[in-house]
Structure 1
Amino acid sequence: MKKHEEEELKSRILGDRDMFAYYLKEVLENELIENAAALGIARLIIDKGAEELTDKQWYTFLRHGVGDINYVPHCRRDYERIPWEEMLAAVHIEEDELCSYCRHKEEKGE
């Protein structure tokens, strides 16, 4: 993940705190973070938010908690942002990097 992509993701996390916390809970329930430090940071974000994270915590979390592991920046079909509530399906369940609308369209053959 490039530096500008990390900054965009950080901004998205901070700007959509509640929905990101919802997604992060799903990630933890499915044991999708293996790095111990990133796992601790994820729990901290759920409990207290991400606003007070240090630069080192952000770096660790973005590299080993979400980033390329549990996040895609946009739908591969229409390039719109995938909502946090659809991220788990896009990354792990369906593994197709699609939002639900585009997944539905592809299933219909459109």
Structure 2
Amino acid sequence: MEKAEIQELKLRILKDIEMFQYYLKEVLDNELIEDSAALGIARQILKQGAENLTEKQWYVFLKHGVGEVNYVSQCRRDYEKIPWEEMLGAVYIYEDGLCSYCRHKEEKGE
């Protein structure tokens, strides 16, 4: 991830922290973070929020926890942001990079 992408993701997380925490819990429940430092930061975000993370913590978390591994910045079909509650499907369950609306359209052959 480039610096601008990291900053954009950080702002997106802070803007919708409750839904992000919902997604992060799913990520942790499925043991999808392998990096021990990023795992510790993820647990901290669930307990205390993300507002007080240092820049170094943000970097580690976004680089090794969510950003490059457990995140798709936009739906590959309509280029809209994928909601946090649909992210696990886009990244792991279906591994298609689609939001649920576009997945439904593709399944119907549209």
TM band (smaller chain):
over 0.9
TM-score by length of 1: 0.99
Do structure 1's residue 92 and structure 2's residue 92 form an aligned pair?
A: yes
Instruction: Determine the structure 2 residue equivalent to 1:81.
Output: 81
Deviation (angstroms), 1:48: 0.6
Return the alpha-carbon distance in structure 2 between the equivalents of residues 36 and 70 of structure 1.
15
CA RMSD in angstroms, aligned pairs only: 0.4
Per the alignment, residue 33 of structure 2 pairs with: 33
Match of 1:55 in 2: 55
Q: Which residue is equivalent to 2:16?
A: 16
- Aligned partner of residue 98 in structure 2, secondary structure: coil
Q: CA deviation at 1:38?
A: 0.2
TM-score of the two chains, using structure 2 as the length reference: 0.99
Shift of 1:73: 0.5
Alignment of 1:96-107 (within 5 A): 96-107=96-107
**AA aligned opposite 1:23:** Y
CA offset digits 1:82-104 (Å, max 9, x no partner): 00000000000100000000000
Q: Gaps spanning 5+ residues in structure 2: where? A: none
Q: State percent identity of aligned pairs.
A: 74
Shift of 1:68: 1.3
Distance (whole Å) between structure 1 residues aligned to residue 6 and residue 53 of structure 2: 14
Runs of 4 or more, structure 1, over 3 Å off, are none
Uncovered stretches (5+) of structure 1, i.e. residues with no partner: none
Distance (whole Å) between structure 2 residues aligned to residue 23 and residue 79 of structure 1: 20
